[in-house]
A and B are shown apart, each in its own frame.
Chain A
């Protein structure tokens, strides 16, 4: 079967760094996505990894290891507005996205 696992909830402090992990088992792999979703809003695209390694985009970085079926999203210099759910999704052999349940990130002052 296909499965995406990520922690349900994480808490971090404003200004700190947090790493959100995602492990996956899918039929085929055409890339891994991270989306951000604020409460009551639609998911918005954060990052896309198809090759192993680290992709950096401002305060956010995403890492992929295809051999381990593993990715993480790294958020630096946390701000209160980063409080949101972070969704991990994998594009399968047909480019259909398989979604994790999301990680709710709570930022405390």
Chain B
């Protein structure tokens, strides 16, 4: 059972470069999320999606874009990376119905921007 899979797991970028993080889930979940996790801070929501073709901004959306063209995939893009985007990024999903709010996480993607 794959669950939630993120690629790549590690990436080093130079300031100004662009990249895309891919999240794939095989649980037929409706909701998908991108979080970032920084030392001493809670998980912060970047963007989320409540279904195929929909996206919405979270707490810290600036500098990121997302797309959900297929239900199972949720892409996070950085158009022009900045050192402040150095972080660990987690993708998560939840069913939607029935729903307690429990999230299922991917393994994380560690991004360093030089």
- Residues of B near A101 (CB, < 8 A) are 40-42
- Expressed in whole angstroms, the minimum distance between the Cβ of A20 and any Cβ of chain B is 15
Interface assignment of B45: CB less than 8 Å from any CB of chain A: yes
Interface assignment of B103: CB less than 8 Å from any CB of chain A: yes
* A/B pair count, beta carbons within 8 Å: 51
B contact residues, total (Cβ < 8 Å) = 19
Q: 4 shortest A-B CB distances, which residue pairs?
A: A91-B101, A99-B42, A42-B105, A99-B43
In the complex, the answer to whether A41 meets B43 with C-beta atoms within 8 Å is no
- A-side binding surface: helix, strand, loop or mixed? loop
- Expressed in whole angstroms, the minimum distance between the Cβ of B97 and any Cβ of chain A is 11
Q: Which residue of A lies closest to B101 (CB)?
A: A91
- Residues of A near B104 (CB, < 8 A) are 45
Between-chain CB contacts (< 8 Å), 12 pairs: A33-B102, A40-B108, A41-B108, A42-B90, A42-B105, A42-B106, A44-B105, A91-B101, A95-B94, A95-B99, A97-B43, A99-B42
In the complex, the answer to whether B40 meets A42 with C-beta atoms within 8 Å is no
- Expressed in whole angstroms, the minimum distance between the Cβ of A61 and any Cβ of chain B is 18
Chain B 87-114 against A: per-residue CB contact (8 Å), 1 yes, 0 no?
A: 0001000100001111111111000000
- Report the separation of the CA atoms of residues A31 and B108 in the bound assembly, to the nearest whole angstrom: 25
Chain A 83-107 against B: per-residue CB contact (8 Å), 1 yes, 0 no?
A: 0000101010001110111100000
- Residues of A near B40 (CB, < 8 A) are 8, 101
- Expressed in whole angstroms, the minimum distance between the Cβ of A64 and any Cβ of chain B is 14
- Report the separation of the CA atoms of residues A63 and B77 in the bound assembly, to the nearest whole angstrom: 39
Interface assignment of A4: CB less than 8 Å from any CB of chain B: yes
Chain A stretch 1-58: residues in CB contact (< 8 A) with chain B: 4, 8, 30-31, 33, 40-45, 48, 50
